Chains A and B, each alone.
Chain A
Amino acid sequence: MSLLTISNLTAKIADEDKQILNGLNLTIEKGQVAAIMGPNGSGKSTLSYVLAGRDDYEVTAGEALLDGVDILPMTPDERAAAGLFLAFQYPMEIPGVGQMTFLKAAINAQRRARGLDEIKTPDFIKLVNGRAKELGIGADMLRRSVNVGFSGGEKKRNEILQMSLLEPKVAILDETDSGLDIDALKIVAEGVNRMRSPERSFVVITHYQRLLDYIKPDVVHVLSKGRIIRSGGPELALELEANGYADVIEKAA
């Protein structure tokens, strides 16, 4: 059963005529880990931002059904409450907003949107401490402002912490491997793998096969010029690694 169905998605940069997504079609099955690979400028990050609802892009056609409901007319917070999560390629630093305040605001906002009571503070602290420990996030990092003073790897781990607390239906990981050393990559991948479930899907956007050694995809899609031009099993990632994108793009053309 498909959890995320993107049909004929066309989008451009809001203030320009430059179209980035050109009628993109993509179906993500429930429980599936789908890798999206593609050369620079193919529209990978745009896809993730358009799905998350960033203002800088304008959707000109198409729909994106999450569990049967089109999320494109929704505000970013509504999409999050509907079960979408984007792990940012470059997580933002928010000076003055404490990490715990931020996490609690996010958890409670989503709970409220779903008609649930707010989480009790002791339960919240216990939950965060537990998940943080699994990701090697120390108490000092939880005491700081969001991402302020975090290394690149710490920021990425912090994204995974947020994902694990918010328990989305669909998580998009936008080049989560960029800027990570092997040890950090392993921690992040383990965090993702712990969350794999028949009910949850992942869209793993990456340039490189390396991340896919640790987060094994069920399916690999190749994005080029704003469209999925080829889909296949995990072996497709290896083929790309060996032959480069040019070869695949040429064959598809």
Chain B
Amino acid sequence: MTMNAVTPMRTGAEAALIAAYGVEKKEFPGGAAVNALRDAAFARFEAKGLPHRRVEEWKYTDLRALMRDARPLAATTDVDGLSLAAELVSRAKGSFKAIPIVIIDGQFIGALSGRLPDGVTVTGLSDALVAGRADISEAVARAEERFNDPLMALNTMFLRDGVIIDVAAGTVVHDDLHIISVVTAAHFVSSRHFVTVGAGASIGILESHVGPADVDYQKNTVLHVVVGEGATLEHGRRQTEGDKALHIASLVADIGPNAHFDTLTVTTGGAVSRNQLFVRFGGENSKATLRGVTMLRHKQHADTTLVMDHAVPNCESREMFKTILDHEAKGVFQGKIIVAPHAQKTDGRMMSQTIMLADGPEMANKPELEIFADDVQCAHGCTVGELDEDLMFYLKSRGVPHKEAEALLVEAFAREAIEDFGEGTIAAIDDLRAALLGSVTDWMLSREG
């Protein structure tokens, strides 16, 4: 690119975020190391601004256009906000018996979080930054360097609070944790979370993102995950943000040897959302499964962008993403599998499937395989189609009304990504699967017309 010399006109959002940093940075917790990271991220943002369509990775989600203004940074939640938060937290909890870890407007609220099982510690990020925990700033710096992602950098710039969950080596956790992240008002919310599963440990973590309808809040959240040697992490995520919300989530996962990582995201919320997954095998004989079910209607826009990095030999990855689009919604799937030159015996299979329920939606699929080793099995596929008319007729001929028949077929379509999620580490897996499938059916039955 030869545009370096040109300073693009700043959008309102970019100007507001730059100004906010100037005003707020002295309040941010932590010492010189973390301040240096924030300043570097700020310099980058000042130079490049929000990603736009000429930035290859953001081609289909032009954030500069989709986010014209930035809301003010989240301040301390007021009384009304707290009462709304209580309601949203309770909605997110549903009937799950998981231990809640509550984040309100980006801040970890220890007092609302549950009692932890043995071997699990939870620390507020803000406290850890004040205490100068080097592992945290190192993890941030590493992710910055490795992925060079503009929204992760923006998150680093506003690095303030979040939660750090450590599972001690050898701990088999029988209770699920549930990170419940709520936003109560039209804020720009940043949060950063860290989950480290020690060698031989296993845990199930659910994550819910909820917020009020009709409020155009903005959330930019990053989750770092380290799955240690022989460890297992099963991670189920539900994004049901308010209908006007902007939601950007990045997952950075480092998978050690003989480890197992399974992550599923079900997306129905937000006006604009992007779910980024940066997953890397750092040890051999590990398995990762990345899945998603996205259901969009009206003018919703949701993007799933993943990079699965097979940096070592003998690992297996599965990427399975299902998208259901109605009205004039827009879906994006960008999936890249990288196989390093020495990563022989890699087995990677990626699939993106879409069902269009109307003539208006749009789906962009961009699968990429970058294979530098010769003894590997890698495949990708994508399909875009409508519900099968013959099957619809068969169901209807048995008396099942049109709408219900569509719901049955769409649930069946989503089922493939949900039914074998988890291998028993998440304690409430049956309830979770049933709830997620139920949410697909509810979404279908709530369609107008």
- Which A residues contact B (CB, under 8 angstroms)? 52-55, 75-77, 79-81, 85-86, 88, 91-92, 94-97, 101-102, 105-106, 109-110, 113, 145, 162, 166
The answer to whether residues A92 and B413 also contact, given A76-B396, A162-B398 and a CB cut-off of 8 A, is no
**Residue B402 at the A interface, CB < 8 A?**
yes
Tell me which of B81-89, B377-385, B386-394 binds A. B386-394
Pick 5 A–B contacts, CB within 8 A, sort by A: A53-B397, A97-B408, A102-B395, A102-B408, A113-B399
Which residues from A are CB-within-8-Å of B391?
Answer: 92, 94
Which residues from B are CB-within-8-Å of A166?
Answer: 398-399
Which residues from A are CB-within-8-Å of B404?
Answer: 105, 109
> What mask results when residues 412 to 427 of chain B are scored 1 for a CB within 8 Å of chain A, else 0?
1101100000000000
**Residue B409 at the A interface, CB < 8 A?**
yes
**Residue B400 at the A interface, CB < 8 A?**
yes
- When C-beta atoms are compared, the residue in chain B nearest to A110 turns out to be B399
**Residue B170 at the A interface, CB < 8 A?**
no
CA of A86 to CA of B396, assembled, Å: 11
- Nearest first, the 4 A-B pairs at minimum CB distance are A96-B412, A80-B399, A106-B398, A76-B396
CA of A80 to CA of B396, assembled, Å: 8
- When C-beta atoms are compared, the residue in chain A nearest to B389 turns out to be A55
Tell which of A88, A97, A101, A109 touches B399, judged by Cβ atoms closer than 8 Å: A109
**Residue B411 at the A interface, CB < 8 A?**
yes
B415 to chain A, nearest CB (A): 5
Which residues from B are CB-within-8-Å of A85?
Answer: 397
Give the number of A-B contacts (CB < 8 Å). Answer: 77
Which residues from A are CB-within-8-Å of B390?
Answer: 92
Which residues from B are CB-within-8-Å of A80?
Answer: 396-399
Tell which of B398, B402, B411, B416 touches A75, judged by Cβ atoms closer than 8 Å: B402
**Residue B31 at the A interface, CB < 8 A?**
no
Contact call A55/B412, Cβ cutoff below 8 A: no
Contact call A106/B409, Cβ cutoff below 8 A: no
CA of A92 to CA of B398, assembled, Å: 12
CA of A102 to CA of B389, assembled, Å: 17
CA of A95 to CA of B412, assembled, Å: 7
Contact call A106/B394, Cβ cutoff below 8 A: no
> What mask results when residues 222 to 266 of chain B are scored 1 for a CB within 8 Å of chain A, else 0?
000000000000000000000000000000000000000000000
The answer to whether residues A96 and B411 also contact, given A55-B393, A91-B394 and a CB cut-off of 8 A, is yes
Given contacts A77-B396, A77-B402, A88-B397, 4 further A-B contacts (CB under 8 A): A75-B402, A81-B399, A113-B399, A166-B398
**Residue B12 at the A interface, CB < 8 A?**
no
**Residue B119 at the A interface, CB < 8 A?**
no
Which residues from A are CB-within-8-Å of B400?
Answer: 77, 105-106, 109
- When C-beta atoms are compared, the residue in chain A nearest to B401 turns out to be A77
- When C-beta atoms are compared, the residue in chain B nearest to A163 turns out to be B398
Contact call A96/B413, Cβ cutoff below 8 A: yes
CA of A86 to CA of B393, assembled, Å: 11
CA of A105 to CA of B391, assembled, Å: 14
The answer to whether residues A76 and B411 also contact, given A106-B398, A110-B399 and a CB cut-off of 8 A, is no
CA of A70 to CA of B398, assembled, Å: 18
Contact call A101/B408, Cβ cutoff below 8 A: yes
B295 to chain A, nearest CB (A): 16
> What mask results when residues 39 to 72 of chain B are scored 1 for a CB within 8 Å of chain A, else 0?
0000000000000000000000000000000000
CA of A113 to CA of B415, assembled, Å: 28
Contact call A97/B396, Cβ cutoff below 8 A: no
Candidate in B390, B399, B411 with the most chain A CB atoms within 10 angstroms: B399
Which residues from A are CB-within-8-Å of B394?
Answer: 88, 91-92, 94
CA of A91 to CA of B124, assembled, Å: 58
A176 to chain B, nearest CB (A): 15
Which residues from B are CB-within-8-Å of A106?
Answer: 395, 398-400
